[in-house]
Amino acid sequence: MTAKISYDDVEVGTELPGQSFGVTRATLVQYAGASGDFNPIHWNEKFAKEVGLPDVIAHGMFTMAEAIRVVTDWAGDPGAVVEYGVRFTKPVVVPNDDEGATIEVGGKVAAKLDDGTVRVDLVAMSAGRKVLGMSRAVVRLA
């Protein structure tokens, strides 16, 4: 694996370029097919409301997968991600319109570890709410 960022070039507090990811109902249907997660709360509004949700919500794993792109695009090599964990704190609510929802992700280096890796803490927001908690990745840099 060959990250394009050098360990020596980052410091605690180094910010990663933030990104924003759009998600519509069509995105969720495509993700359901690709991931095999066909839970109707991710595509069936009637069902979602019956189980107490405000509307259809994105797969937590979709949000998790998009958030790490801030790290993989920065590091250059997705295989440099050694560890990645999140807590699903709030759902990403996806209305049935052309705009859908947006997930805004930022990250910064929170610690430099001894073995050539760094810990990146991510923040993922949608509609002004934090949708992931404890969102942390350990990345092996060059």
Q: Which residues bind another protein (CB under 8 A)?
A: 1-2, 21, 27, 30-31, 33-37, 60-62, 64-66, 68-69, 72-73, 77-79, 81-88, 134
In the complex, least distance from residue 9 CB atom to another protein, rounded to whole angstroms: 19
Q: Which CB, 13 or 81, lies closer to another protein?
A: 81
Q: In DSSP terms, which residues pair with 19 in a beta bridge? A: 105
Minimum CB separation of residue 55 from another protein in Å reads: 16
CB nearer to another protein: give 17 or 33: 33
H or E segment and range at residue 113: none
- Minimum CB separation of residue 66 from another protein in Å reads 6
Residue pair 63/135 in contact (Cβ under 8 Å)? The answer is no
Burial of 135 (0-12, 13-18, 19+ CB in 10 A): buried
Distance CA 104, CA 125 (A): 5
